[in-house]
Amino acid sequence: MRRTLLLLAAAASLTACGRKEPEIVLPTDSCGAVRLTGLVGQPAEVLETIRFTQPVRVVRPGDMVTMDFSPARLTVETNEAGRIVRLACG
């Protein structure tokens, strides 16, 4: 009986060794936000001079936005002064 318990304990510990930790998945730049980081600090009006190939959403302080996630959509956040403060995909 004792031998059986030891074998079960050993098998359980070996099984735990084979488990993988969950992988951390970093967000991708699916909308091209990284290449547009130079727009941070610029007035939001500069967006009108750029031709975008993907959907663009401009979010101003107090705006209500949907919670749907669209990886191809560029989301541009502005501050109260109308300056771009953040660019992100989604």
Kindly tell me the number of DSSP H helices and DSSP E strands found in the chain.
1, 3
Condensed to tens digits (0 to 9), the pLDDT of residues 10-64 reads 655 555 555 666 665 556 789 999 999 999 999 999 999 999 999 999 999 999 9
Q: What is the DSSP string of 6-68?
A: HHHHHHHHHHHHTPPPPPPPPPP-TT--GGGGGGTTSBGGGGGGS--SS-EEEE-TT------
- Do residues 72 and 87 make contact, with C-beta atoms less than 8 angstroms apart? no
- Do residues 33 and 88 make contact, with C-beta atoms less than 8 angstroms apart? yes
A 10 A CB-CB count for 77 gives 18
Q: Considering the domain 2-89 in this protein, what is its CATH number? A: 3.30.10.10
What's residue 42's pLDDT? 97
Whole-model pTM?
A: 0.68
